Structure 1
């Protein structure tokens, strides 16, 4: 092989560096998605090991989840829990710094969203979460968006103002323990919690929470267990 051909076939150090970087990114993506696929995906998700008749969102056995089949369109990545899961008790703080807990949310359907100011997808979906709260929020339902930034609530408060999220209450967890407690694998992570405090579904990543599909999903969760008279 002559000198000209050798120069054509020889790879420069820069070429090797670029190839290594691409390989590293590919490896990271593989690790991330290996953790997340059971809680996210491009098509309606439901746990494959579930029996055909399981507990419903109101905790009564022998019924399929009232959310079954509603995770489509904009909600295709939403994982329906065929059997409601226990959620470990967790704490966070309201805008005044007063402690709140999972027990304080009992009696209403809750869309628990975990976010941070540095999370770009969180910024993109915050107006949609606000629109969902404006449309359906009240005694039966609330979007509980908990910020996990460190250093106090001011940064989170500014973020909500910048994104126009005027209908969302300010909730924070600077300890970041909530992220671990609910076994989140990325941000944003959103859990749908029944009136009884059970997880009936979750979605990893951003979503169009202002979409008709999202509203139908939430309305089904609300209707599944009427409030006690």
Structure 2
């Protein structure tokens, strides 16, 4: 990761503070033994057609890789884009949800936990991005992976004054483990750019200042894919 450019600050946050937290992300990841790499196992639920279609989007991944600069320079385009449509978790209303439910929207999918310090530092910036850019064609889907009930994540989001992010959850950590098997998740936070057809176009491990102008331009480029 680069040290980023000095960009606008967020409440209780800044690019410098977030990027310095990336080092701690590695420590946290090591503590929970999530650095073990596994051989990719194909599609998450064995679907072949969506993955085949996504594999044809290497040019889009290369384009978005070039748009990731400054505060979001750690976001890297996928060598082989793959389908994320089958990723499943719990919606804010407690009902089952999948990424395929958001078909037609470009998504920034972020996995986080209350015990992950860099995640906590990053959340206000993600909330600011959703406030600024969220709409019919773009959404930040922040998936909390705390085990147990939703008491802690709800309290944390209330404490920091989140205005726009919704609380998606996966207390089983199944989403993280699926991404780990795909060699996309090595620690927390982990963030993916998913296009309108559910294809993972880019990903990064570690925090970023998503409230920055660099992030806004990155999202604009992603929406145009």
TM-score of the two chains, using structure 1 as the length reference: 0.70
**2:81 corresponds to:** 84
Residue in structure 2 matching 1:123, options 120, 123, 126:
120
CA shift for structure 1 position 129? 0.1
Q: Please say if residues 114 and 147 of structure 1, whose CA atoms lie closer than 8 Å, have aligned partners that are also in contact.
A: yes
**2:210 corresponds to:** 209
Mapped to 2, the partners of 1:104 and 1:83 lie a distance apart of 23
Q: Structure 1 segments of 4 or more deviating over 3 A?
A: 31-35, 55-65
CA shift for structure 1 position 164? 2.0
**2:8 corresponds to:** none
Classify 1:206/1:56 alpha carbon distance in 2 versus 1 (closer, same or farther; 3 Å). farther
CA shift for structure 1 position 84? 2.2
Classify 1:63/1:131 alpha carbon distance in 2 versus 1 (closer, same or farther; 3 Å). closer
Mapped to 1, the partners of 2:58 and 2:111 lie a distance apart of 30
* 1:180 and 2:177 aligned: yes
SS in 2 for 1:66: helix
**2:69 corresponds to:** 72
Q: Please say if residues 130 and 139 of structure 2, whose CA atoms lie closer than 8 Å, have aligned partners that are also in contact.
A: yes
Q: Map 1:155-170 to 2 at 5 A.
A: 155-170=152-167
Q: Please say if residues 61 and 81 of structure 2, whose CA atoms lie closer than 8 Å, have aligned partners that are also in contact.
A: no
TM-score of the two chains, using structure 2 as the length reference: 0.71
**2:11 corresponds to:** none
CA shift for structure 1 position 58? 11
**1:193 corresponds to:** 194
Q: Tell me the matched-pair count.
A: 178
Mapped to 2, the partners of 1:116 and 1:63 lie a distance apart of 30
Q: Please say if residues 191 and 203 of structure 2, whose CA atoms lie closer than 8 Å, have aligned partners that are also in contact.
A: yes
* 1:108 and 2:105 aligned: yes
Q: Please say if residues 57 and 221 of structure 1, whose CA atoms lie closer than 8 Å, have aligned partners that are also in contact.
A: no
Mapped to 1, the partners of 2:111 and 2:61 lie a distance apart of 28
Residue in structure 1 matching 2:131, options 127, 130, 134:
134
* 1:149 and 2:146 aligned: yes
Q: Please say if residues 57 and 194 of structure 1, whose CA atoms lie closer than 8 Å, have aligned partners that are also in contact.
A: no
Mapped to 1, the partners of 2:35 and 2:154 lie a distance apart of 31
Classify 1:68/1:79 alpha carbon distance in 2 versus 1 (closer, same or farther; 3 Å). closer
Q: Map 1:17-36 to 2 at 5 A.
A: none
5+ residue gaps, structure 2:
1-26, 38-51
SS in 1 for 2:188: coil
Q: Which has the higher contact order (CA 8 A, sep 6+)?
A: 2
**2:168 corresponds to:** 171
Please identify the structure whose Cα radius of gyration is greater: 1
Deviation string, structure 1 residues 21-59 (Cα, Å, up to 9, x no partner)? xxxx9xx69x98896xxxxxxxxxxxxxxxxxxx99895
CA shift for structure 1 position 152? 1.1
